[in-house]
Chains A and B, each alone.
Chain A
Amino acid sequence: MTVDMSQFYEVFFDEAEELLAEAEHLLLSIDVESPDIEQLNAIFRAAHSIKGGAATFGFMDMAEITHVLENLLDKIRKNEMALTTEHVDAFLAAKDVIKMQVDGHRHGSEVNAEQVSDVAMMLKSLSEGNSAIPADPVIAASTPEPEVFVVATEKPALTITDEEKAKGITLYDVGLPQVTERDLTNLKDELALLGEVVAYQRGENAHALLVKTDSSADDIVSICSFIVDANALVIQVAGETAATTDSAPPETAPAEVTAEAATPAAEADLGYGFFDDDPIINAEATAADGKVKVAEEMGYGLFAENGKDQQEEGYGFFAPFKPHPDAPKAQMIGDDNAAEALTKAKEEVVAAPVAAAPAAQEERRNQSRRESDKPAATQNAESSSIRVGIEKVDQLINLVGELVITQAMIEQRVNALDPMDNEALINSVSQLTRNTRDLQESVMSIRMMPMDFVFSRFPRMVRDLAGKLGKKVDFVTSGATTELDKSLIERIVDPLTHLVRNSVDHGIEKPEVRKQMGKAENGTLTLSAAHKGGSIVIEVTDDGGGLNRDKILAKAASNGLPVNESMTDAEVYNLIFAPGFSTAEVVTDVSGRGVGMDVVKRNITAMGGNIEIRSALGYGTTISISLPLTLAILDGMSVSLDKSVYVVPLNLIVETLQPRAEDLKTVTGEGLMVHVRGEYLPIIALHALFNHPTQITNPTDGVLLILEADGKKSALFVDRLVGQQQVVIKSLETNFKRIPGVSGATIMGDGSVALILDVPAIIQMGQTTNYVTGGVAFSSQNYPTSKNHINA
């Protein structure tokens, strides 16, 4: 008879993680001085939802801590306690603990019990420290009260006429739990928005309100729930059979919310929308003694819906609910009465789930359903997306890649045909080209994810780090919706984390230092992402101290790196990427910027990206990472060398030119350079580099590609430009090995293989080897520039 709850675990975990992330986001953005009540409520709802779910699924440890958290939150949002940063810290700590518990349940990872109890203690002491309510409601309410709340109603001072009734106005008797005077006043004021309200005392410490309104009972519950526990409300239609909200409080101490202890009502309470539209089961759980008891946990509102409604709302996704066999079942005593009462109660009651009487639903449609929005959204998200293994997507991308190649082949063949005779064919092929390109784009977009996935983890980190270092940092992100290939997203996290941490640690100065410098005490750390050409540019910018060129140079010199004063800033800044350039004390204001920076750089380079530093001493630093949009496809320029074709990544080509003889210069008769726009760039002859014999050995007969990588420019000398095209990158390493100067291979339109040049490596090779001038092919040549030899 038991339902296998485990099938819903994943849903709960997903939802819990989502809620936690949302709560964290809200906590980070909250203004401690004047907290937005809406934000507090949202955080409270998140905690509340998690608690409900955790208890339902039997994760008592989570229910416990969320419960304590919820209590504290509750007091704050009711203004019983002022929000302090201490609270926010405690909430964040609690969030971490809950996340840890979720992970523990989900992945079996370790849960640090000590940390859990520490946080629980902290929350409790915070909660008690300023508590306005003497007794902890948990304890007060720890005995679930399965019976219908029968209240001896004292003389109400408000009456309702038949006439008013006919107009749809109802007199509700709202029984309140123990509340403070202030709350009572607040409640009264709030409810006054709905209609006439009169408060009266009934019994010791108990208050009740009479509300005369044309609104539904749900509206009353909604309003009250901001101030008091909705579950402790008892709402009756004065003078008629009472419908009340569930008396079994959600605060039921976790240990007691076992399946056995739970009353049917409590189960319903925690069961979200597990109940299907089986009226008998619903009735079992809810009707007793002819009185209708609504087992409705405020906010979940679901239970009050009939099956039809549930389906409409998308809640009907759970399997039919079977009450726990151990749970005491409320008998359907006098169910006839109940049904009768209900039918009458059309407009008045917080309708019972027995709402098999379908009439009672209409007016509840528009009730506030705050928390229920959440599962609804989740549900919608689930139905509009599917989970697919990444390898399936990759296979699809590969196949489309093949299709693109085949299509290019056809296009090539068709272009050789007479355009007059084959007009129809050529038109069809160009149509195919367009379709193929669209297909490719759509397929590629499957793997795309927004940068937000990465960015969202930083606000917390920055906050914690800044707190630890005694700094004040405003964290700003932009371009979080920029999309990037999933595999890149995953690989960018670590380098970015490192860079952000560096910026907070070493970039942004302490508040007092900033003050002295005439800057705002709060440093600003900006994380941005944007598309730029065929790549995505991610920048980490701080307005801190900036890099100190002199200190870096000195440090580099002492490390034995080849440096000189005349190096450009870009070159100097690049020194911090050198392995082992760990700076520590020596380069004080940038200390540590070198630590692990070589790893960052290596990671970025391995992704086919580039990293660049811009900095101004005293004003801040920007570290800019540019990455290809995807690893699978490259915009390339194909160039030829004799009969071979090579592909050069387009984004690294600054320009292409055919040099004039007078622009070619040498140093000591060697070291061929080209003079381009005032710069002398070394010429790297590809044929010499690759030992590839070709007819064209004089740069004036061929083409120079001005390449830029790692802040260095070089001119690559090739025979011809063939054309620009998108190529599908194939790894050489799958069946072969890494080849110096080659980053991969691709398949050209004719089915042949072309190698993709590894531009940074080639520039490096051009500088460190003697290929340029000492190559066999070159040394025997007579350059027209020989007359320009400096030493001639």
Chain B
Amino acid sequence: MSTTTEMNNALSGNAGSGLKTAAGEYLTFVLGSEQYGIEILKVQEIRGYDAVTQIANMPSFIKGVINLRGKIVPIVDLRIKFNLGKVEYNEFTVVIILNLNGRIVGIVVDGVSDVRELREEHLREVPSLVTRIDTKYIVGLATIEQEMLILVDIEKLMTSDEMQLIDSAVH
């Protein structure tokens, strides 16, 4: 998924500088057994999963589009994307609706846990790893009550080419 050069860049540049600005409030959610955090200001709302219209010839993690009060909003299942957790859809399936600079996207996760305020002392650097999430989208790690929280730059991730949510020509 990611090349080593990209990772090196990410480590030397983005991840390091990202730490400085990563403090703030985070919405934490669960994917499999891992805790993730995204900036709370990017979150518009949280809703259940229903009536998704499938779209032809899309990667499996793009579930389709929903009608969010008259707006057509794509839904991405992060569990499929990162191959984490059990992929099933029932009344407990949660969709986090993100508002990324005006673009509205829904992500399916295993569950939403909490809103956390993170300060500088909570934050740790991301070590060099090969994971399903390119480390350039991870702004840092944090420890909260003995658990590791993975802080994701959700805007960067969702607008990246690999999510295939935007016409590649657009950016």
Which residues of A approach B to under 8 Å, CB–CB? Answer: 398, 401-402, 405, 644, 689-692, 730-742, 745, 747, 751-755
Contacts and interface: CB of A to CB of B under 8 A. Distances in A.
Interface string B48-68: 000101111110000011110
B72 A730 contact: yes
A687 to B, nearest CB: 9
B166 interface: yes
A733 B165 CA distance: 10
A685 to B, nearest CB: 12
Contact of A735 (B53, B55, B74): B74
Contacts of B71: 730, 734-735
A690 B74 CA distance: 17
Given A735-B103, A735-B104, A402 B70 contact: yes
B105 interface: yes
B73 interface: yes
B53 A754 contact: yes
Nearest to B51: A752
Contacts, number: 71
Contacts of A731: 72
Range for the number of chain B residues in contact with chain A: 20 to 34
Complex A-B, nearest 3 residue pairs according to Cβ-Cβ distance, in ascending order: A690-B56, A753-B53, A736-B74
Contacts of B164: 737
B67 A747 contact: yes
B56 A742 contact: yes
Nearest to B104: A735
Contact of B54 (A405, A644, A747): A644
Nearest to B73: A735
Nearest to A737: B167
Contact of B65 (A401, A736, A741, A751): A736
Given A745-B65, A751-B51, A752-B67, A735 B72 contact: yes
B66 to A, nearest CB: 6
Given A742-B55, A753-B66, A753-B72, 15 more contacts: A398-B70, A690-B56, A690-B57, A732-B65, A735-B104, A736-B65, A736-B73, A736-B166, A737-B165, A737-B167, A745-B65, A747-B67, A747-B70, A751-B67, A753-B51
Interface in B117-139: none
A740 B57 contact: yes
Contact of B72 (A690, A732, A751): A732
Interface in B47-103: 51, 53-58, 64-67, 70-74, 103
Nearest to A740: B57
A111 B54 CA distance: 56
A284 B18 CA distance: 77
Contacts of A755: 53, 55
Contacts of B64: 753
12 contacts: A732-B72, A733-B167, A734-B103, A735-B105, A736-B72, A736-B73, A737-B164, A737-B166, A739-B57, A753-B51, A753-B53, A753-B72
Nearest to B100: A735
A209 B31 CA distance: 103
Nearest to A731: B72
Contacts of A740: 57
B56 A692 contact: yes
Nearest to A754: B53
A734 B166 CA distance: 10
A762 to B, nearest CB: 11
A129 B56 CA distance: 75
A733 B70 CA distance: 14
A289 to B, nearest CB: 73
A742 B65 CA distance: 13
